Amino acid sequence: MKDRNKKFIFSFYTLSVFILNVFLCSTNVYAKDRLYGKNSFDTSISICRKSLEKKLGNVKRIHRENRCLNNLSVLQEFKEQIFFNKIYASKGSCSVENKENNSSEEETNQQENNNDKPLGEKKELKTFYEVELSQIKFNIENIKDSMLSIKVCDSRGNIEYLNQIDKEKIQEGKATLAFNVKKEDTYTVKILGNESQNAKIENIKVTELTKILEIKDINISINENEKFIFPKTVKAKMSNGKEKKVKIVWDHKEVDTSKKGKYTFEGTVEGYDKKVKLNLQVKELEKIKLLENITVQLEQNDPYNMPKTITAIMNTGDKKEVIVKWNSVLDTSKIGVFVIEGIVEGFEVKAKLIAKIIAIDENEVVKFKDPVFEQVIRDILYIEGDITRKDLNEIEELEVPSWMGYELNSIEDISLLRNLKTLDLFGNFIENIEPLKKLHNLEVLNLGACEAIENVEPLRNLAKLKELKLNGNIINNIEPLVNLTNLEKLNLGGNPIKNFSPTGKYFNKLKEKDFDLKLMETKDNTIEIDIEEGEKFFLPSVVTLVENKKNVAVKWDKNKANTDIAGKYTFEGYIEETQSNIKLNLNIRAIDNNKKVEFKDKELEKAIRMVISKPSGEIYRKDIVKLKKLPSLYSVKDLSGIENLQGLEELIIMTTPISDITPISKLKNLKRLELDTVGITRINSGVFDDLNKLEFLNLAGNGIENISLDAFRELKNLKELNLTNNRITNIKSGILFDNLNKLEELTLDSNKISISNMEGNVINTIKVDAFRGLKNLNKLNIQDMELEKIDFLEDLSNLEWIDMRNNNIKDIRPIGNSQKLNYLWADHNKIEDLTPIKSLTEIENLKLNNNEIKDIQPLKNCVNLKSLCIEQNKITTLKSLENMVRLTHLEAKQNSIKDIEALSNLINLNSLYLENNQIENVNPIANLTKLKVLKLGSNKIKDYSPLKYIYNNLNNPDFTLNYK
C-alpha cells in the first residue's frame, strides 16, 4: 500500500511539473516574442521542450539516488529553470549567489551537454578545502531553500556520503556541510536543492588526511578465572601528533582464563595496515602466603602512628605492600606488651602488631652514637662525666648553627631530646632528618641552608610547629606539610618547589612567608584546566571551594600528570573534609607550529637562519621544529627564543658570556650540551630537570663555585660529565651524583676540593660516599686537584681508566678494588708502596713517573702491561719485569738502575728510555730487534758495540757505536 502511495505521489509531482513547465515556457515565449520578435517562438519552444525532458530525467534520477530524502521537493528542482547560481570558492567555504536567469540559447544548450556543470556565467571554478581529523568542511551562503541535501562521491563514482541537511543547521541562510573521508582521493560534492541545478564542487583533493602512525601493543595482566572482555577501542598516535581512541575488531571474542600463562591476540583497526597485538598474562590467583607480625618497642608516651601497609609474601614468591585496616590504635601511655589486630583489605587475612612499651629510666646513662653531637650536648649542659636521660629531658632549646663550628652531619641522637621546643640547625650539612619525627613538642625548627635535605616526610606529624625554616635545600615536594595548620612562619625559598598548594589550608594565616600561592578553584567539585603540550602541571594538594571559599586538601588517584602528549585527561580525587569526590579535566593542546618565533640575540638568529636557509622574513615554529643541530656558537649572549627549538639534539656554546641558561631547560630532546667557558658560576636546582635524554654534558672552564645538590638528579641517561677547570671546592655528599646510574665518564680535574675533619683540619680529598651512585663509572679524571686521599675510589669497582696525576697522593690502597683497571696515570704524586697494584692483573698502561718508588716487585703480577712509565723514582733494579713479554713501551730514566738483565726477555719492546741511570752493560738488550727508539744517555756505558745489530733500526739514537 505504501509503495502505491509513493508511486501516486511521484506521478502527481511529475504531472504538476509538466503543467507548470508548460505554463512557464509559454510565459517565457511570450516575453521573448515581445523582446526579440516572433521568430523567437520556435526556438523558445524547442528550448522549453529540451529543458523539460532534461528536468523530467533529473527528477527520476534524483528520486532514484535519494529515496531516503523524502522531503526533497521536485518542484524545487523545476524552479532552477528560472534561476541560476554562481559558486565562489574560498578556503574551507563555497558561497552561492542567486540571480534571475537571463541565459541564452547557447548557454542552455551547453547545460544540456554537460549536466554536472553549474548554470550561469562561464567562470573558472577554484576549489579549496579544509581537512581536520579526516573531515572536509565547507560553507554555503544565501540559502533560499530549507531542504538541502548533499552527495559525495570518490574518484570512482562510489557514494561516500548521502544525506539531507538538518533544517536546524541552517541559520540566516547559511549552513556548514561536513563529511568524513577514509582515504586520500579526489572527491566530488553535489548539493541538491537550493534553487539551483546540481551544483558541482570539483576536485576536492584530500592529501593531508590524518593517518594512524602507531598503535602500541597492549599488555594486560589478570588473575586466573577472572572474566576478561576485549577492549572496544585502543589508543592510536595520529600523524597530527595527537592521540585518538579508535575502534578495533579482535580475531577472538572470548578468552579462557582458567589456566595461567601468556597469550597473544591480534586485532584490526581500519586505516592501519599492521595488526594490533594484545599480550594477556593470566596469573595464578594472588594469595598471601606469609604475613609477618609487626613488632615494635617504644618508650612510654612515645608517639606512634599505626602503619597503613604491611609487607606480605605472596604465593608467587613476590613481596607486596598490602593495606591493613586496624581494629584500634596503639596507646603508649601504658607499660606492657600489647597486641592489635587488623584485616588486610582484599584478602581478608588477619594482621598483628605486637608492641612492647617500656618505662623510661631517667637515670639511664646515655651512649651517644655521634661524637660531634655528644660534644654539643656536653657544651650545653657543662657535664664532663656521664649524661643521663634526666639530663637530656631538661633541654628545651638547642641552637647549633654552622657558624658555631661544630659542623653537624648527623642528628641521629637528637631523638633523645623529647622535650625540645626550639631547634636551630641552620647551615649544617644535614641530609637525613628522620630522627626529628619523635620530637612532637617542637614549636620552632630552623633547617635553613642545610643544602642536602630533600625528604620532609618526618615533619608530617609535628603538629605543634609554629615556625619552620627550610630555605636553601633541595626539597621539591612539600605535601607532608599539608596538615601543619599551626604554622605562623614558613620559609621555603631556594628549593626547587613548583607546587605550593599543600600550604593552602593555612597560607592566609601565615604572618611570615617567602612564596606566593594561587590555588585552583573548584565549582561543583570539578576543575577545568587548559595548557599547552609540554607545559609543567602539578596536581594540587589543596583547592578552594567556590561555594564557600574554603581551602580543602585533596588526595588524587595519581601522583602526577604527563603533559608530553596532547589530549584530554581526567583525574579523580577525594576531599576528606567534605567526604566528596572531585574531578580535574586537563586539556593539553598541541603545540601551535604556526606561531611566530623571535630571537633577541642577532647572532643566534643568524645561526638559525643559516641552518634553515631562510635569510629573511618571519620565523615560525614550523620552520625550526625539526632542527636537530646548530653550528657551534661563539658570540651568542642571550638564549631567549632557543626554547622553541624543541627538536634540538645537540647544542654547543663556547667562549662567550651567557647571562641566563634557563631557556635551555625546555629543550627536552637534547642529547649533547656543551657550555664551555661561558661564565656560569652557579648551577641552580631544576635547570636540567627536563633534559632526561641528555647523554653528554660539558660545563668546563666556567669558574663554577656552587652546584645545587639536585642539579643532575633527572639526568638518568647521562654518560659523560665534564666539570674540569672550575672552582668547585666541596662535594659534600653522594647526593650530587646519586641518580647518574648510567654515567661512564667523569672529569673533575683542576678543581680544588677539600673537607674538614673532626679536629677542624682541612684535608684535600673528596668525601668517601661522593660517588656512591656511580656503579657504571669506568673513566675518571681527577688530575691537578691537590688531593691527598682517594678513599672515595673504594666503591668504584668498574673503573677502567683513571687519571690522577699532579696530586699529593701517598696511599693508593683504594685502587686495589678496581680490578678492571686498564689505564692508570699517577705521575707527580708521593707514592711509595705499589702493593695495591698487585691485584690489577688486567692493567695494560701504567704511568708512575715522578714519585717516591723504590721497589717495583708488586708489578710482577701485571703480565698484561704494554706500556710502563716509572721515570724519576728511586728504582735500582728492573728484575720484576722479566716476564712482561707484552711490554712494548718502557720509560725508566732518572732512577738508580744498574742491572737491566731482566730486559733481555722483553722481545716486543719498540721504545726504551733508560737515560740518567747507573747502567754499564748493554748486552741484555742487544737482541731486542723490534726496538725503534732507544735512549741511553747519561749512563756509565763505555761499550755500545753489542748494539751494532739493532743500531740501524733506531730512530735518532743518543749514542754512537764505539769499537775497541
- One DSSP character per residue, 302-359 reads ------SEEEEEETTS-EEEEEEEESS---TTS-EEEEEEEEETTTTEEEEEEEEEE-
Task: Flag whether 910 is in a domain.
Answer: no
The C-alpha atoms of residue 891 and residue 869 are separated, in whole angstroms, by: 5
* 639, 664 Cβ separation under 8 angstroms: yes
Please check whether residues 584 and 599 belong to one and the same domain. no
Task: Flag whether 151 is in a domain.
Answer: yes
Please check whether residues 544 and 691 belong to one and the same domain. no
The C-alpha atoms of residue 288 and residue 312 are separated, in whole angstroms, by: 6
Domain that holds residue 582: 519-590
Task: Flag whether 228 is in a domain.
Answer: yes
Please check whether residues 532 and 427 belong to one and the same domain. no
pLDDT in the model for residue 424: 93
pLDDT in the model for residue 323: 82
The C-alpha atoms of residue 783 and residue 724 are separated, in whole angstroms, by: 9
- Whole-angstrom CA distances from 467 to 415, 446, 464, 782 are 19, 8, 9, 43
> What is the grid cell recorded at 357?
612499651
* 233, 249 Cβ separation under 8 angstroms: no
Please check whether residues 227 and 113 belong to one and the same domain. no
Domain ends where: 183, 206, 229?
206
> What is the grid cell recorded at 467?
615556625
List residues bridging with 573 in a β-sheet: 556, 582
787: left (phi over 0), alpha (psi -120 to 50) or beta: beta
> What is the grid cell recorded at 131?
581537512
pLDDT in the model for residue 23: 46
Task: Flag whether 457 is in a domain.
Answer: yes
pLDDT in the model for residue 75: 31
* 250, 244 Cβ separation under 8 angstroms: no
CATH of residue 343's domain is 2.60.40.10
User: Is 270 strand, coil or helix?
Assistant: coil
Q: Which residue has the cell 595548620?
A: 485
Secondary-structure percent of the chain, ordered helix, strand, coil, rounded to 5? 20, 25, 55
Domain ends where: 728, 755, 784?
728
Please check whether residues 71 and 22 belong to one and the same domain. yes
pLDDT in the model for residue 781: 96
> What is the grid cell recorded at 733?
655528599
Please check whether residues 317 and 401 belong to one and the same domain. no
User: Is 728 strand, coil or helix?
Assistant: coil
Please check whether residues 353 and 389 belong to one and the same domain. no
- Which secondary-structure segment (H or E) carries 62? helix 40-65
Task: Flag whether 897 is in a domain.
Answer: no
pLDDT in the model for residue 235: 86
Please check whether residues 196 and 66 belong to one and the same domain. yes
CATH of residue 652's domain is 3.80.10.10
pLDDT in the model for residue 550: 84
* pLDDT mean values, one per 10 residues, the chain (964 residues): 48 51 44 36 37 44 39 32 28 30 36 35 30 50 62 75 67 66 68 51 54 85 84 85 85 86 90 88 82 86 81 81 87 90 86 89 89 90 91 92 80 91 91 91 93 91 94 90 93 89 90 88 86 82 86 80 80 83 87 88 93 92 91 93 93 91 92 94 88 95 88 93 90 78 94 60 70 91 93 90 96 92 97 94 96 95 95 95 95 96 95 96 95 96 93 92 64
The C-alpha atoms of residue 859 and residue 902 are separated, in whole angstroms, by: 13
User: Is 501 strand, coil or helix?
Assistant: helix
Domain ends where: 283, 316, 331?
283
> What is the grid cell recorded at 500?
605550593
The number of folded domains in the chain is 6
The C-alpha atoms of residue 18 and residue 24 are separated, in whole angstroms, by: 10
Task: Flag whether 189 is in a domain.
Answer: yes
> What is the grid cell recorded at 936?
741511553
Please check whether residues 21 and 108 belong to one and the same domain. yes
Task: Flag whether 944 is in a domain.
Answer: no
List residues bridging with 86 in a β-sheet: 97
Count CB atoms within 10 A of the CB of residue 346.
10
pLDDT in the model for residue 518: 84
Give the orientation angle of helix 40-65 with respect to helix 105-113, to 10 degrees: 30
pLDDT in the model for residue 81: 29
The C-alpha atoms of residue 688 and residue 662 are separated, in whole angstroms, by: 9
* 284, 314 Cβ separation under 8 angstroms: no
The C-alpha atoms of residue 618 and residue 599 are separated, in whole angstroms, by: 11
CATH of residue 538's domain is 2.60.40
CA–centroid distance for 709 within its chain = 20
Please check whether residues 535 and 672 belong to one and the same domain. no
With vertex at residue 137, the alpha carbon angle to CA 134 and CA 143, rounded to the nearest 5 degrees, is 160
Of the candidates 932, 929, 916, 925, the one whose C-alpha atom is nearest the C-alpha of residue 946 is 925
Please check whether residues 469 and 525 belong to one and the same domain. no
- Whole-angstrom CA distances from 675 to 304, 418, 651, 683 are 51, 50, 8, 12
Residues in the chain: 964
Task: Flag whether 863 is in a domain.
Answer: no
Please check whether residues 98 and 173 belong to one and the same domain. yes
